[in-house]
Amino acid sequence: MRTRFKASIVHSFALAGLVGWALLCVTGCHDGDWRFWRWPDRDPDQQPIEGSVHAPSTAPGPASVFPAPAGIDDRPLVIQSIEFQVLRVRAGKGAFSESGKIWNALDEEVFAATTRALLRKNGLRLGVGKLASWPQIKAILDAEEVEISTNQQIVRNGLPLTVEIDPQMRDQTLFLFREDGTMAGRTYASSRMVLRIEYFIPLTDADAVVVDVMPEIVLPFSRPRPTLGPDGWVQEEIQQTTRPLRELASRAPMAPETFLAIGPSGTSHQGHLAGSLLLCEEIDGKVFESMYFITPRVRSRVPALP
pLDDT of residue 36: 32
Q: Which helix (H) or strand (E) holds 297?
A: strand 286-301
Q: How far apart are CA 176 and CA 126, in angstroms?
A: 17
* DSSP reduced 3-state for 59: coil
Q: Are strands 250-254 and 286-301 parallel, antiparallel or unpaired?
A: unpaired
pLDDT of residue 73: 55
pLDDT of residue 74: 62
Q: What's 305's DSSP letter? A: P
Q: How far apart are CA 215 and CA 245, in angstroms?
A: 6
Q: What's 107's DSSP letter? A: B
**Structure confidence by residue, pLDDT tens digits, 159-175:** 899 998 888 899 999 99
**Structure confidence by residue, pLDDT tens digits, 14-70:** 333 333 333 333 333 333 333 333 333 333 333 332 333 233 333 444 444 445 555
Which residues sit opposite 176 in a β-bridge? Answer: 184
Instruction: Indicate yes or no: pTM above 0.85.
Output: no
pLDDT of residue 66: 46
Whole-number Cα distances in Å, 274 to 108, 249, 277: 19, 12, 5
**Structure confidence by residue, pLDDT tens digits, 103-158:** 999 999 999 999 999 999 999 999 999 999 999 998 998 888 899 999 988 888 78
